[in-house]
Amino acid sequence: MPGHRLTQSEYALQTVVEHFGDLLFSLEKHHLTHTYQVVIHFCELENINYLVLRYLNTGALPFEEYSEDWLFDGEV
For residue 27, tell me if it sits in a domain. Answer: yes
> Whole-angstrom Cα distance, residue 48 to residue 29?
22
Q: Is the pTM of this model over 0.85?
A: no
pLDDT in tens, 11-66: 888 899 999 999 998 988 898 989 989 999 999 999 988 888 888 888 777 665 54
pLDDT in tens, 54-68: 888 887 776 655 444
For residue 67, tell me if it sits in a domain. Answer: no
Kindly report the length of the chain. 76
Number of structural domains (the chain) is 1
What is the pLDDT, as a whole number, of residue 76? 41
Residue-range definition of the domain harbouring residue 17: 8-62
Residue 31 DSSP SS3 = coil
Closest Cα to residue 51, out of 33, 69, 63, 67? 63
